[in-house]
Structure 1
Amino acid sequence: MPKKTEMHWPLGKSAGICIHDNVLPSKLCKSIIKFFEERPHFNHPGKTFGGVMPDTKLSMDSHITGVNEYIQTEEEADFLSKADNAIYRLYKVVLAEYIQQYATLLNEWHIREDTGYQYQRYTQGMGFYKSHIDGSPFTGPGGRERVLASVMYLNTVKEGGGTYFDYFDYTCDAVRGRIVTFPASFLHLHGGLVPQSSDKMIISTFVTCPPDPVDTRPSSAPPTSEIVGGGTELPEVEIPEV
């Protein structure tokens, strides 16, 4: 039987923080972790809007989507391409469900694409990301403003490692396969807590709003009219082998 989405609003829809559990298959999560753990040359110090700032963010990051200068073999390129496609096919269902919940997102804003996927590793007892917001109060000419942010957890951290939302005094725990989505606004100040029991591996992405009225949602995305409060069937995806 095909898996279906499990959508939760821990603080109610008015808070805008939405959790989808069991979206990323365990095998996919483990495969992505293994790929980057076996290839340390892919990983580089995590950056913020201000660049590398280890007092603000202490992580090792790598791009899954797009051109990666660290690719050395065709096998590595093939793995990242397949991983990117698998994440995209699963995440677009989550995004469609979220958009369906808010009339402004559904009918007035044209937010149908993400910025790609970035792998991040936070070392046990050390890694963190201080409280920050993911949006900005402006955008340059022709730019695309961040509207939503999502964190995808690749492993379960039993102690620490969650995403803490300061103004809501709420922590979303790091659970393998979970995706948390929230507005990239000043109200959603949040930070990555230090993982105490193990390393934490996540994937991050943002959803943007183009300045023009063109609907950029990929044609393969499920029609929003078919999305009603969770329970959407998740697609079968090809899981790349390391």
Structure 2
Amino acid sequence: MKKVSIQTNNHNPHFIGSWTLETFSICEDLINYFELNLDKQKKGTTGSGVNPNSKDSIDIRIKPKEIILPGNEAFKAYFEELFECYKNYIEEWPFLKELAQKLEIGSFNLQRYKPGQHFKKIHTERLSIDSSHRVFAFMTYLNDVEEGGSTYFSHYDLEIQPRKGLTLIWPAEWTHAHRGNILRKGSKYIITGWICFAN
């Protein structure tokens, strides 16, 4: 894990942590998992269900207990690296240290976007009582994207272009409303999910 800086014209903090994974082969392993598990692929959903006018993607949803199953070793390797990013994040914001002891990973998604697809709607990761347990979102881009496919945080006018291994952690709150911009060329793969209050 290598800390990287997101460039912005705004001098106020945006609270979006960013790192590059040390082991790029994890990204390749996760893409291979996605492509080999056709039976697990579903149309992308939001809190209101399948709605391609909001989110147009193909997803595989994974539950935390599935990480230890045979064939899922790539997830274990990924979360070991993500945890290093998370530890660095709470070191940067010490107020979070006590809170961090009460959090866990929830269900998460592998996602693929093809040209013309994207998460169209500006949204936040904590929208209702049903998602109120979410504290942070995380996302890792699994491949480089040549044209389009950036993530846009509207309150900060901040656009982040996907690069293989680039990993983000940000607050799940309304302050971090965002969308995925339209993919123009190639494929875009991500792994994304939430760090939540323990159930």
- Quote the offset at 1:50 in angstroms: 0.8
- Alignment pair present for 1:58 and 2:56: yes
CA distance in 2, matches of 1:116, 1:24: 24
Determine which of 74, 81, 94 is the counterpart of 1:83: 74
Corresponding residue SS for 1:131: coil
- Quote the offset at 1:195 in angstroms: 1.4
Q: How does 1:49-128 map to 2 (within 5 A)?
A: 49-66=47-64, 77-80=69-72, 82-108=73-99, 110-128=101-119
Q: 1:16 to 1:134 in 2, by over 3 A?
A: same
CA distance in 2, matches of 1:35, 1:147: 27
The 8 Å contact of residues 104 and 196 in structure 2, kept in 1 or not, is answered as yes
- Quote the offset at 1:65 in angstroms: 3.9
- Quote the offset at 1:62 in angstroms: 0.4
Determine the structure 2 residue equivalent to 1:132.
123
The 8 Å contact of residues 109 and 193 in structure 2, kept in 1 or not, is answered as yes
Q: CA-to-partner distance for each residue in 1:1-42, whole Å, 9 max, x for gaps?
A: xxx522324346721112112x16222212221232233222
CA distance in 1, matches of 2:89, 2:188: 25
The 8 Å contact of residues 147 and 185 in structure 1, kept in 2 or not, is answered as yes
Q: 1:92 to 1:108 in 2, by over 3 A?
A: closer
Q: 1:183 to 1:174 in 2, by over 3 A?
A: same
- Alignment pair present for 1:5 and 2:2: yes
The 8 Å contact of residues 10 and 17 in structure 1, kept in 2 or not, is answered as no
The 8 Å contact of residues 126 and 132 in structure 2, kept in 1 or not, is answered as no
- Alignment pair present for 1:168 and 2:166: no
* Structure with more contact order per residue of length (Cα contacts < 8 Å, sep ≥ 6): 1
Corresponding residue SS for 2:152: strand
Determine the structure 2 residue equivalent to 1:239.
none
CA distance in 2, matches of 1:166, 1:96: 27
Pairwise CA RMSD: 2.3
CA distance in 2, matches of 1:158, 1:16: 26
Corresponding residue SS for 2:129: coil
The 8 Å contact of residues 150 and 179 in structure 1, kept in 2 or not, is answered as yes
Taking structure 2 as the reference length, what is the TM-score of the superposition? 0.87
Corresponding residue SS for 1:180: strand
The 8 Å contact of residues 148 and 183 in structure 1, kept in 2 or not, is answered as yes
What count of residue pairs does the alignment treat as equivalent?
Answer: 195
Q: CA-to-partner distance for each residue in 1:132-183, whole Å, 9 max, x for gaps?
A: 00013535xxx86111111110011011111100111111111001101111
